[in-house]
Amino acid sequence: MMQKNNLVKAINKNVRSGARKANLLLNFIRGKKADIAIRDLEFTRKKVADDIKKTVKSAVANAENNYQYDIDNLYVKEAYVGKSIVMKRFRPRAKGRAAAIKKPFSRITIILEEKQNLQKKEVKK
């Protein structure tokens, strides 16, 4: 007898931010309930927080519409970031030289899981 897979995924492919900057916020929301993660990202003063919040909301919408999960039982199981494309720009420097400027993009992946026992624990208290 096989248990059904409770994982839901959302990927944001081209986020205009470096992977290291995005990873700081992903560490912050990993393991939290989905609605609490969205609330925390709402009040975070980082530019990449909007893109991460959009990805979490997309994963919640996928869970609700595609799998009929209860959104109150969803939590962020995995949140990770990988490098995507890098735009290369050049700035003129002294003596006819040019200096490269790299503008990195990231790919943010959010995986939510539905925990069946979240409400049972709250009832016992």
Amino acid identity at 99: A
CB neighbour list of residue 19: distance below 8 Å, 6 or more residues apart: 81, 82, 83, 104, 106
Closest CA to 35 of 15, 64, 11: 64
pLDDT at 2: 43
Query: For the chain, which domains are there?
Result: 7-117 (3.90.470.10)
pLDDT in tens, 81-101: 999 999 999 999 999 999 999
Mean of all residue pLDDT scores within the chain:
89
Q: How far apart are CA 10 and CA 65, in angstroms?
A: 13
pLDDT at 5: 74
Does the pLDDT of residue 4 top 90, yes or no?
no
- Between 3 and 34, where is the model more confident? 34
pLDDT at 117: 65
What stretch of H or E contains 59? Answer: helix 48-67
pLDDT at 1: 46
